Structure 1
Amino acid sequence: MHLSLSRVHFPVTTLGPGRRLGIWFQGCSIRCPGCISADTWGPGHRRVSLDALLEHIQPWLAQADGVTLTGGEPFEQFDALLALLQALRQRSEGDILVYSGHSLEALAEQLGQTRGLIDGLISDPYQEHSEQTLALRGSDNQRLSLFTPLGEARLAHFQRPLHASDKALDLMFDAAGSVWMAGIPRRGDLLRLRDLLHSQGHQIQTSAHTSKRR
């Protein structure tokens, strides 16, 4: 079993409670206008085996309070997603939160196959011009659904408006020297950061609001 993978980071503190393992799938056909993760739209070239991924993340799983799966669109690699969820459930007692740009209704059949494996799901496409006032969501049309007692215990308190403490981003670095941000930025934050750094003579490229299709 292989999957197209964008990146993996630990700890992530802005996509769910506690210190989390973040796994970004590569590839998304939804391509919401204004998406801050347009770099994950294309199919990519990094295909990894599930066994290799699990070996890589095992030390972090022992420390993580939970796991967040995002992308990209995890449900567009459903067989790999299902196998990963099963493996994570066996290896971790933390909660599993999944992001999807598909509607809850469109995912009904697939969610039936993941029963007991996903504790919380944030569903529905990002809407660039919708309000952004809810915790863990980029636009207020997105829904947080809780499917397990663990999900209720760990994630129910995110059914609320944004707090000041929610307005944070994790900074992450990869082996190639790229800087990544995880979290739910306010509208235009990454473009404002880009313009600020450009004004100081720095070069930066961001995938936020990009029209490039990869």
Structure 2
Amino acid sequence: MVHEYSDPGCRSRSRLNLSGYLMRSTVNGPGTRAVVWVQGCPLRCKGCFNQAFWAFSPAHIVPAKELAARILTTKGIDGITFSGGEPFAQAGPLADVAERILDAGLTVVTYSGYTFEQLASCHDSDCCRLLAATDLLIAGPYREDLACRDRYRGSANQQIISLSGRIVPKSVLPEQDQEKTVEFTIAPDGTVTTTGFPPDSLLTQMAARCRGE
């Protein structure tokens, strides 16, 4: 597996190279969660929604301890979700964050483009630590030809696996709430963050409105 600290960009095992952060979200895992998007992905799935997060180039460099402290001071959240980019490309510092989150009694959800089998068979100590600190794993590459309407996965091949038993699949995808949801967050500076799984038509309309068309 490719690690961020072995490529251009963030080369530290104690710092994270982030492409984005939300204090609260309800569409990136069960309950209300903080969300971290890491910068850099070696997989580069065709049709990926977050192609801007592929490059292994410096974005927002944050010490793992600082990120964990920020999350733990956020009130009313159930835990953290790691997305990207590819979280396992920065497994070491993310594991540091995840272990602190677990110690505080919160839960950890991790998205990965690798399959569970690939992650489980990896002997890298950092990857093993991050996998061990993950309560719920959504694993597998995005496949454009298998795009689905499930709320927490982009394509039908992706696995939703409860690793700790603290979050079980039935609580993740209740029958009445399986379809994709889109969430918009407006920051104090006016920056709009779109997360979830918005349809292409919605993104096209939003871009046109931003251009004044």
Same fold (TM over 0.5): yes
State the one-letter code of the partner of 2:165: P
Q: Offset at 1:21? A: 0.9
2:205 paired residue among 193, 196, 204: 196
Matched, 1:39 2:48: no
1:50 paired residue among 61, 64, 73: 64
The change in CA–CA distance for 1:156 and 1:117 in structure 2 (over 3 A counts) is farther
Structure 1 stretch 98-107 or stretch 169-178: which is displaced more?
169-178
Q: Offset at 1:166? A: 3.5
2:32, 2:206 → 1: CA distance?
A: 29
| Alignment gaps of 5+ in structure 1 | 205-214
1:75, 1:195 → 2: CA distance?
A: 31
* Residue 164 of structure 2: aligned partner: 148
The change in CA–CA distance for 1:177 and 1:120 in structure 2 (over 3 A counts) is same
* Residue 102 of structure 1: aligned partner: 114
The change in CA–CA distance for 1:86 and 1:195 in structure 2 (over 3 A counts) is closer
Whether contact under 8 Å (2:138, 2:153) holds in the other structure is: yes
Q: Offset at 1:151? A: 2.1
What are the within-5 Å matches in structure 2 for residues 182-193 of structure 1? 182-185=195-198, 189=199, 191-193=200-202
Whether contact under 8 Å (1:146, 1:156) holds in the other structure is: no
State the one-letter code of the partner of 1:158: V
State the one-letter code of the partner of 1:117: A
State the one-letter code of the partner of 1:146: S
* Residue 40 of structure 2: aligned partner: 27
Deviation readout 1:118-174 (Å, 9 max, x if unpaired): 11100000001114043411000000111112122xx4333567x566432111234
2:115, 2:190 → 1: CA distance?
A: 35
Over the residues paired in the alignment, what is the CA RMSD in angstroms? 2.4
The change in CA–CA distance for 1:13 and 1:87 in structure 2 (over 3 A counts) is same
* Residue 157 of structure 1: aligned partner: 171
1:76, 1:115 → 2: CA distance?
A: 12
2:194, 2:18 → 1: CA distance?
A: 17
| Alignment gaps of 5+ in structure 2 | 1-13
* Residue 117 of structure 1: aligned partner: 133
State the one-letter code of the partner of 1:37: N
State TM-score, norm by structure 2: 0.80
What are the within-5 Å matches in structure 2 for residues 65-144 of structure 1? 65-91=78-104, 93-108=105-120, 109=122, 112-114=128-130, 116-144=132-160
Q: How many residues are aligned here?
A: 194
* Residue 210 of structure 1: aligned partner: none
- Residue 129 of structure 1 aligns to a residue whose secondary structure is helix
Q: Offset at 1:69? A: 0.9
1:120, 1:197 → 2: CA distance?
A: 32
Higher relative contact order (CA 8 A, sep 6+): 1
1:45, 1:98 → 2: CA distance?
A: 20
Whether contact under 8 Å (1:10, 1:20) holds in the other structure is: yes
Whether contact under 8 Å (1:4, 1:46) holds in the other structure is: yes
State TM-score, norm by structure 1: 0.80
State the one-letter code of the partner of 1:97: V
Where do 4+ consecutive residues of structure 1 move more than 6 Å? none
